Amino acid sequence: MAYNVLVMAEVEPYRTILPMIEEQCRVVRWHPDDDAWRAELGDIDGIYVYAHIKVGPELMDSMPKLKVISNFGVGVDHVDLAAAQQRGIPVGNTPNVLDGATADITFALLLAGARNIVKGDHFARGPNFVEYDPSFMLGQEVHHQTLGIVGLGNIGYQVARRAQGFDMTVLYHNRNRNAQAEAELGVRYVSLDELLAQSDFVALNMPLTDETRGMIGRRELALMKESAVLVNAARGGVIDHEALLQTLQAGKLHAAALDVTEPEPLPRDHPLFALDNVIIIPHLGSATEQTRQAMSDRSVGNLLAGLEGKELLSRII
């Protein structure tokens, strides 16, 4: 086998990944507690990262032959990009192939939060649902309301497209204005504060970076309408969870619907679990059969291209 690849995964990678890599490479399995893999570091040509294992400069420096880091997923906040760049190591990720699935889950959470889908499901199964009452569990209207998207990248763009089908007014906040989206979708750029104050729904779709970490804190949550729904399909770290907990405990939001948390998973006794105005799902943004397959193909393609010194199919740096 021409190349040695360190596969960094705490769980078993999606089914086609290892067979695809093993067709052309020798796989060394990383392990958090067992250091056997460390003996192989001098021979490692590529790193394949699955499910957000941290990759820092020390690890990179222990691999003199390292040619590429390939990440399964678009978000690479767990990889020290500056360190990789300084060392001239390309980092591959999987943009585009997961935009639709992640936009779908953003909308699923938005609808579920607005219309009490999870709370309603629990109630309908429980002992108290013995007669239909038209005045209970009233939610928030979705159609013709205002959606604020923080992070109008590829995923945010797809969220905005879905909002058109619901006749929503769409505001957005982003590092840069997106003239194309403004022209094509009629979305309107506003400051973050304006977006929070004016939106009935706030969807977080930005990457986690130094700039966005903790972006939604106590002050920002206080700007939101009490009837609003906050959806996080980005990374847990963009929200201050203590501030979110207090906001929800005080009933200052209709609901929060979270695909991601910080830490992830939350400790099993976390106080957010005691609230019924929060929905938490286990990081399912891109979790469909079709998208997982596309992410596998792209990430293994990036790995193999990098090993051969070719341009990656998609690289973040």
Which spans of this chain sit near ligand DGY (rule: CB under 6 A)?
73-75, 98, 285-286
Residue whose CB is less far from ligand DGY, 98 or 231 = 98
Which residues participate in catalysis according to the annotation? 235, 264, 283
With tokens 């040695």, the residue in question is 4
Nearest residue to ligand DGY, by Cβ distance, number only = 73
Nearest to 42 by CA among 2, 4, 70: 4
CB 205 within 8 A of CB 260: no
Least distance CB 286 / ligand DGY (angstroms): 5
Q: How far apart are CA 199 and CA 93, in angstroms?
A: 32
Least distance CB 193 / ligand DGY (angstroms): 27
Residue whose CB is less far from ligand DGY, 169 or 288 = 288
Maximal CA-CA distance, the chain: 69
Residue whose CB is less far from ligand DGY, 4 or 286 = 286
Least distance CB 75 / ligand DGY (angstroms): 3
Q: Which two tokens stand for residue 180?
A: 């194309």
CB 205 within 8 A of CB 224: no
Residue 306 one-letter amino acid: G
Least distance CB 244 / ligand DGY (angstroms): 19
- Count of CB atoms situated within 10 Å of the CB of 82: 10
Q: Number of C-alpha atoms within 13 angstroms, CB side, residue 105?
A: 25
SS3 content of the chain, % helix, strand, coil (to 5): 35, 15, 45
- Count of CB atoms situated within 10 Å of the CB of 248: 21
Residue whose CB is less far from ligand DGY, 74 or 114 = 74
Nearest to 305 by CA among 57, 21, 18: 21
Least distance CB 71 / ligand DGY (angstroms): 8
